[in-house]
Amino acid sequence: MAREDIRTFQLEKLRKLLRRVYDNVPFYRIRCDEAGLDPGNIQGLEDIRKLPFTTSDDLRLNYPYGLLAVSRDEVVRLHTSSGTTGKPKALFFSKGDIERSANLIARCLTMTGTGKGDVLQNMMTYGLFTGALVMHYGAEKVGALVIPAGPGNTDRQIALMQDFETTAFHITPSYALYLASVLQKKGIDPGKDLNLRRAYLGAESYSEETRKKIEYLFGIDVYNSYGLTEMNGPGVAFECTQKNGMHIWEDHFLAEIINPDTGEVLSDGQKGELVITSLRREAMPLIRYRTRDITQMITDVCECGRTHRRISRILGRSDDMFVVKGVNIFPQQIEQVLMGVTGVAQNYQIVLESYDTLIVKVEMSKELFDGNIEHLVKLQSQISEKIRAELIVKPKVELLEPGTLPVSEGKAKRVIDNRTM
Amino acid sequence: MDKVMQVSVFSENKPGRIEKITRIFAEEGINILAISITSTNGFGIIKLLVDKFELAHEKLKQNGFTVTLNEVLAIEMRDSPGGLHEVSQILSGKGINIENAYVYVVESRARAFLLVEVKDIEKAKEILSKEDLKFFRPGDFK
């Protein structure tokens, strides 16, 4: 599909969407009226900029049914997205939404080589979180055998992989690293003893170093998956076999990149917050939804030939970003440094006690311990120096005994902020 | 010269770590002959000379400790004034630098061993084998 055709298609969907929300969602009708936007007179995709953003606060204020665009009996599924404070966000799916979200995942899986004959072990949480169910439906659609394993119970995960010859798995990066360490402990070499070929990683942002490490540890291809509950869940953007950015499915989503502080729309290639309009969701479409995810648009045509633009891997959440000594820091920057250091394990934690100290806790690697305290002191200062070179802020590095940081089988909590305003 | 191995354990500087190590040893009937603790920047290394070092290594590992075995020189000395001086004189005379050292007393006021970590243990052993020194033997585990 040529770029022009995609934009024409998006405009047609946008016109229908605005008509639909104007007629059915009082929240958006008021917003259109206030902005002087007539849904019957949309000239181009840029007209959407006249409307303000929809934020997670708007979702909470309209909890639970306030943003529904269909009657309640049209809705067949509820998912929620947890907030760190207060009420969760309620997101609804119509029958058609479930069908379309499964089709998008099917597109992602086919693109990366998963299909009939594959065994996909789905290690995301089944439940109110969208990660597992949406993938599940899409994987069934392409004819794979789906094992709804859910996360955790690592011994059973490994037994399932062995007994059913799992070829692909869907997992969070932190759990993938943990799984690799358990396999190693058990003396199982995934390259020789298992049938794994590829993994789909999502739900947490992670660095390119982590991807390479996971690919190496399992002897597989790792594909980055992007999604959020507000936009169906996984399958909003997905990597092709080029592994160079995720194609955002522009026939379903209208993407903008904005400056998170000013709201100004940025041009392609500039780093900023991803804002998405779900063009085709029926039950609960959102207009200019602020994802809080920091990324950038990659515009040159992908070597795979697809014309859907790509977003770079998520560089951080504007929520996760923290400030120490006036410097904006994302946990991923620290992770990237740690992955490049030998002698430390994969788990880490960032602790903030004041506005001018950054504490990074890392676990020692058991294998590389030689009983020499000088080597440990050197390792400690090496890590501290490398982080300083990356962030400008010199951290206090604490070396911990392996296994002392909490192990996550879901989303990892990397930053502990003990500061009070 | 028999190989003398010490057990080195990485530990965060927090209460309860020695307690856990010694509990494991007590349960396994492992006897501690000598112990040394070095700590810095919030962590430390506990070094132990024990009678059953392989079992100690294995059990600590099973209990999640970060642990390794490394060889030390165990040089006999008199447990009386001047004893350590005699040994250290030979070491310094041969240009052997002590990285870390602690003592195992076999018979109080009679016989003790100086446990020494050096940079190049093979070289040190070779040099010292020509000296008038006695080294640790398995029978010295008492």
Per-residue pLDDT reduced to its tens digit, A10-35: 999 999 999 999 999 999 999 999 99
User: Looking at residue A84, what is its pLDDT?
Assistant: 46
Put simply, whether A401 touches B (Cβ < 8 Å) is yes
Q: Which two tokens stand for residue A126?
A: 């089944």
Put simply, whether B45 touches A (Cβ < 8 Å) is yes
CB contact under 8 A, B66 and A399: no
Based on the number of CB atoms within 10 Å of its own CB, is B118 exposed (0-12), middle (13-18) or buried (19 or more)?
buried
Rank A55-59, A260-264, A275-279, A408-412 by mean pLDDT and report only the highest: A275-279
Q: Which CATH architecture has domain B4-71?
A: 2-Layer Sandwich (3.30)
Strand segments (E) across chain B:
4-12, 32-40, 43-50, 66-78, 100-107, 111-117
Instruction: Count the neighbouring beta carbons within 10 Å of the beta carbon of residue A204.
Output: 20
Put simply, whether B38 touches A (Cβ < 8 Å) is yes
User: Looking at residue A32, what is its pLDDT?
Assistant: 95
* Cβ-contact A304, A241 below 8 angstroms: yes
What sign has the CA pseudo-torsion B106, B54, A344, A361? negative
Given its phi and psi angles, is residue B72 left (phi above 0), alpha (psi -120 to 50 degrees) or beta? beta
Read off the pLDDT of residues B24-53 as tens digits, 9 standing for 90 and up.
Answer: 999 999 999 999 999 888 899 999 999 999
Rank A102-116, A318-332, A388-402, A406-420 by mean pLDDT and report only the highest: A102-116
User: Looking at residue A85, what is its pLDDT?
Assistant: 47
Put simply, whether A403 touches B (Cβ < 8 Å) is yes
Put simply, whether A371 touches B (Cβ < 8 Å) is yes
Put simply, whether B120 touches A (Cβ < 8 Å) is no
> Per-residue confidence at A102, pLDDT binned at 50, 70, 90?
very high
Q: Which two tokens stand for residue A259?
A: 């400056």
Residue range A250-255: mean pLDDT, rounded: 97
Instruction: Name the DSSP class of A191.
Output: H
* Cβ-contact B118, B88 below 8 angstroms: no
Put simply, whether A185 touches B (Cβ < 8 Å) is no
User: Which residue from A145, A194, A150, A144 is spatially nearest to A170, judged by alpha carbons?
Assistant: A150
Average pLDDT, chain A: 91
Cβ within 8 Å of residue A151, ≥6 positions away: A123, A124, A125, A171, A172, A175, A409, A410
Angle between helix A208-218 and helix A331-339 axes, rounded to 10 deg: 40
CB contact under 8 A, B45 and A398: no
Instruction: Name the DSSP class of A43.
Output: -
- Please name the residue that has the structure tokens 């997905």: A238
CB contact under 8 A, A399 and B42: yes
* Of residues A33 and A418, more confidently modeled: A33
| Chain B: closest CA distance from residue A381 (Å) | 10
pLDDT over threshold 90, residue A62: yes
- Collect all residues of chain B within an 8 Å Cβ-Cβ radius of residue A369: 8, 10, 66-68
User: Looking at residue A408, what is its pLDDT?
Assistant: 60
Cβ within 8 Å of residue B69, ≥6 positions away: A371, B5, B6, B7, B8, B53, B54, B57
Read off the pLDDT of residues A126-163 as tens digits, 9 standing for 90 and up.
Answer: 988 888 999 999 999 999 999 999 988 899 999 999 99
DSSP β-ladder status, A357-364 and A396-400: parallel
User: Looking at residue B142, what is its pLDDT?
Assistant: 60
- Collect all residues of chain A within an 8 Å Cβ-Cβ radius of residue B102: none
User: Looking at residue A193, what is its pLDDT?
Assistant: 95
Q: Does domain A322-417 have CATH number 3.30.450.40?
A: no
Identify the CATH homologous superfamily for domain A1-319.
ANL, N-terminal domain (3.40.50.12780)
Percentage with pLDDT > 70 across chain A: 97
- How far apart CA A41 and CA A156 sit, in angstroms, is 57
* Cβ-contact A207, A315 below 8 angstroms: no
CB contact under 8 A, B67 and A369: yes
* Of residues A329 and A298, more confidently modeled: A298
| Numbered ranges of CATH 3.30.2130.10 in chain B | 4-71
The shortest CB-CB distance from A371 to any of B40, B65, B68 is to: B68
Q: What residues of chain A, 89 to 118, have a C-beta less than 8 Å from chain B?
A: none
Domain boundaries defined on chain A: 1-319, 322-417
Read off the pLDDT of residues B74-115 as tens digits, 9 standing for 90 and up.
Answer: 999 998 899 999 999 999 999 999 989 999 998 888 899 999
What sign has the CA pseudo-torsion A203, A209, A212, A214? negative
* Of residues A204 and A103, more confidently modeled: A103
What count of Cα atoms within 13 Å lies in the side-chain half-sphere of residue A61?
6
What sign has the CA pseudo-torsion A293, A294, A295, A296? positive
The CATH classification of domain B72-140, taken from the options 1.20.1250.20, 2.30.40.10, 3.30.70.890, 3.30.70.260: 3.30.70.260
CB contact under 8 A, A400 and B12: yes
pLDDT over threshold 60, residue A421: no
Altogether, the residues listed in chain A come to a count of 421
| Amino acid at site A155 | D
Residue range B111-140: mean pLDDT, rounded: 88
- Please name the residue that has the structure tokens 């240009």: B95
The shortest CB-CB distance from A377 to any of B11, B40, B69 is to: B40
ipTM above 0.90, yes or no: no
Strand segments (E) across A3-160:
75-81, 89-94, 119-122, 145-147
What sign has the CA pseudo-torsion A281, A284, A285, A290? negative
The shortest CB-CB distance from B40 to any of A373, A402, A403 is to: A373
User: Looking at residue A366, what is its pLDDT?
Assistant: 83
User: Which residue from A64, A56, A39 is spatially nearest to A317, judged by alpha carbons?
Assistant: A56
